[in-house]
A = this chain, B = another copy of it.
Amino acid sequence: MNGFTHTDAAGNARMVDVSEKSITRRVAVAEGYLITRPDVIQRIQTQNIAKGDVLAVARVAGIMAAKRTPDLIPLCHGLPMDGCEVELTCQDDRVRIQATCLIDAKTGIEMEALTAVSVAALTLYDMCKAVDKAMRIEGVRLLSKTGGKSGDYHADR
C-alpha cells in the first residue's frame, strides 16, 4: 500500500473501489478566509444590511459548488449529499467562511466542504474585485470530520 489511495501500484490515477466500505453517517466541517481591507468589509456589511446580496450570492455559490465537487475533483466519488450549510462572518479585515456537509455514505465528504469554502471565497473575490484586487484566500482547511473507518479528525484550533 502506497499511502496515496488515488493511485495504483504503478502510480496511475484511479478512482478507488469503495464498494466494501460500510455506509455510515459522515459530517465534515471546513473553514477559510477572504482577506481584504477593513473598508471593503464595511461596504459588504452595509450592503448586507440593505439587501445581503454579496454574502447571499457567495453562500449560494458555495452550496452549489459542493454539489458539483465530483465534477471538479477528478478522483472524487459522486455523493448525493444530505445537507450543506455555508456560514459567512464578517470580521475586521476578512470574511470567515465555514461549510458543513453531511451524508450517509461509504466515503467521506471532506472535499465537498472544502470545495464549498473555496468557491464561496472565489465568489466574494469576484464580487469585490472592483474595489480591491489584492484580496487573498487564506487558511482553507478541514476543521473536523466524523464517521468512517479512518476515525474522527479534529484540527488544532
Contact = CB atoms under 8 A, between A and B. Distances in A.
Contacts of A93: none
Total copies of this chain within the assembly: 6
B136 A12 contact: no
B130 A155 contact: no
Given A4-B47, A5-B130, A15-B63, A75 B57 contact: yes
Contacts of A32: 137
Contact of A19 (B25, B73, B86, B130): B25
A104 B19 contact: yes
Among A2, A54, A82, A153: residue with most chain B CB under 10 A: A82
A140 to B, nearest CB: 4
Contacts of A47: 2, 4, 7, 11
Interface string A38-65: 0000010001001111101101110111
A121 to B, nearest CB: 8
Interface of A: 2-8, 10-19, 25, 32, 43, 47, 50-54, 56-57, 59-61, 63-68, 70-87, 102-104, 106, 110-111, 114-115, 118-119, 121-123, 125-131, 133-142, 145, 150, 153, 155-156
Given A7-B127, A13-B60, 16 more contacts: A4-B43, A4-B131, A6-B54, A11-B52, A12-B87, A13-B53, A13-B57, A15-B67, A19-B104, A51-B56, A56-B60, A61-B74, A64-B72, A72-B119, A114-B125, A138-B138
